[in-house]
Amino acid sequence: PDAAPTDYGPLLERIAADVAPLLGSGTPAEYIPALAAVDPRQFGMAVADLDGNVFGVGDWQVPFSAQSITKVFALALALAGGGDSLWERVGREPSGNPFNSLVQLEYENGIPRNPFINAGALVVTDRLQTLTGDASSEVLEFLRQESQNPDIAFDAEVAASEQEHGDRNAAVAHFMASYGNIDNPVPALLEHYFWQCSIEMSCADLARAGRFLARHGLRADGSRLLTRSEAKQVNAVMMTCGTYDAAGEFAYRVGLPGKSGVGGGIVAVVPGRCTLAVWSPGLDSRGNSVAGVAALDRFTTLTGLSVF
Ligand code: GLN
């Protein structure tokens, strides 16, 4: 059973102090200039519990580039709208390869390993585009509603930069299209994918928006997005695939379903209890926030709140 509401404030202060020596280590994403210019010493963390309370520390209200974290929300919407047949087009196994890798696609007939690497996310966005006609707006609107923050927005500069430096994502999308695993025109698909990646939000927004995963599929307004079983499935794929080729290390250290982005953010879920969001731009060699992973590691170590 869920415990009485906890005041996470003092714990977050302690975690922020514990990870302070790590701030500035790692490297902000360098593949687009808009992200490379971010101050790497920033750090924020938020906890949203299921009673509607949100606790935060540091830069927890500063918007950052959500990037691949949006892949979780796109997946949830695609499953909610289109059901299980999505899994005929994308797998559920960790890739063991970098998030933007092409290699597996050739020997697995254009079926990406999982929905959280770029190839898989492009398939998910393609499905969402077919279902809704406006995939990126659908994701943005969902994030606004769940976080109750109508100011969450696309970052046009980041989206344009993604497009300009998007050769690899374009190659991945075209390659899958050659196997018949993309239904929409590739240029339109890429545009939605880049806009989706560009969404800017804070740790406070992200912790709130991810609460449906801790609430076994229930949205902020009490309606159901996912069945309990689907929510379990999304959490499971986050656990095994949410941090690219470091998912094993993340599970070992943090013990929670989590999804990272190259903006330096990570969302993590304690099912039945709360959702965590952390942000610090310095990334490790696999594209995960150095201080972010360390902060989540401290959270589960200090509280014992993991799924294990
Ligand atoms: N926009 C990035 C890309 O497609 C997202 C990758 C990520 O956050 N890992 O390369």
Predicted pLDDT of residue 79: 98
Tokens of 34: 């808009």
CB contact burial 55-78 (16+ within 10 A = b; e otherwise): bbbbbbebbbbbbbbbbbbbbbbb
* Counts of helices then strands in the chain (DSSP H, E): 14, 7
Predicted pLDDT of residue 252: 97
CA distance 153 to 55: 22
Number of compact structural domains in the chain: 1
Predicted pLDDT of residue 128: 98
| Weakest-pLDDT range from 32-46, 185-199, 290-304 | 32-46
CB contact burial 250-266 (16+ within 10 A = b; e otherwise): bbebbbbbbbbbbbbbb
CA distance 24 to 292: 12
For residue 4, tell me if it sits in a domain: no
For residue 2, tell me if it sits in a domain: no
pLDDT averaged over every residue in the chain:
96
Predicted pLDDT of residue 97: 85
Of the pLDDT bands very low, low, confident and very high (cuts 50, 70, 90), residue 3 is low
pLDDT tens digits for 216-257?
Answer: 999 999 999 999 999 999 999 999 999 988 999 999 999 999
For residue 308, tell me if it sits in a domain: no
For residue 36, tell me if it sits in a domain: yes
Active site annotation includes 107: no
193 is in an annotated binding site: yes
Interstrand relation of 54-58 and 274-279 (parallel, antiparallel or unpaired): unpaired
Active site annotation includes 179: no
- Percent of the chain beyond pLDDT 70? 98
On whether ipTM exceeds 0.90, the answer is yes
Active site annotation includes 293: no
- CA-to-CA dists, residue 143 to 66, 69, 174, angstroms: 11, 11, 28
What is the span of the domain harbouring residue 292? 9-303
Q: Which of 47, 262, 269, 278 is catalytic?
A: 262
Q: CA 21 from chain center: how many Å?
A: 25
pLDDT tens digits for 121-142?
Answer: 999 999 999 999 999 999 999 9
Q: Which of 8, 19, 68, 198 is catalytic?
A: 68
Predicted pLDDT of residue 213: 98
88 is in an annotated binding site: no
Q: Which of 57, 65, 71, 290 is catalytic?
A: 71
Q: Which protein residue has the closest C-alpha to ligand 1 atom 2? A: 67
E-only strand ranges, the chain: 44-49, 54-58, 64-65, 200-201, 258-260, 265-270, 274-279
pLDDT tens digits for 23-60?
Answer: 999 999 998 888 998 999 999 999 999 999 999 999 99
4 pLDDT exceeds 70? no
Nearest atom, ligand 1, residue 100 CA: 10
Which amino acid is present at 12? L
Q: Nearest CA to 144 among 81, 213, 218, 70? A: 70
2 pLDDT exceeds 70? no
179 is in an annotated binding site: no
Pocket of ligand 1 (CB under 6 A): 67-68, 99-100, 118, 162, 169, 197, 261-262, 287
Please compute the mean of the pLDDT values over residues 59-84 and round it to a whole number. Answer: 98
Tokens of 230: 């689907």
162 is in an annotated binding site: yes
For residue 248, tell me if it sits in a domain: yes
CA distance 219 to 213: 9
Nearest atom, ligand 1, residue 198 CA: 1
* 287 alpha carbon – ligand 1 mean position (Å): 9
For residue 3, tell me if it sits in a domain: no
CA distance 197 to 103: 22
State which of 97, 117, 118 you would mutate to test the pocket of ligand 1, scoring each by most atoms of that ligand within 8 A of its C-beta: 118
Active site annotation includes 198: no
DSSP, res 257: -
- CA-to-CA dists, residue 89 to 114, 160, 174, 177, 182, angstroms: 10, 28, 15, 12, 9
For residue 1, tell me if it sits in a domain: no
Active site annotation includes 259: no
Predicted pLDDT of residue 54: 98
**Matching residue, tokens 């239904």:** 183
What CATH number is associated with residue 38?
Answer: 3.40.710.10
For residue 226, tell me if it sits in a domain: yes
Predicted pLDDT of residue 279: 98
31 is in an annotated binding site: no
Q: CA 242 from chain center: how many Å?
A: 7
CA distance 76 to 82: 10
Give bridge partners of residue 224 from the DSSP assignment.
Answer: 218
Please compute the mean of the pLDDT values over residues 292-302 and round it to a whole number. Answer: 98
Interstrand relation of 64-65 and 200-201 (parallel, antiparallel or unpaired): antiparallel
1 pLDDT exceeds 70? no
Which amino acid is present at 240? T
10 pLDDT exceeds 50? yes
Side-chain-side CA neighbours of residue 203 (13 Å): 28
Q: CA 66 from chain center: how many Å?
A: 7
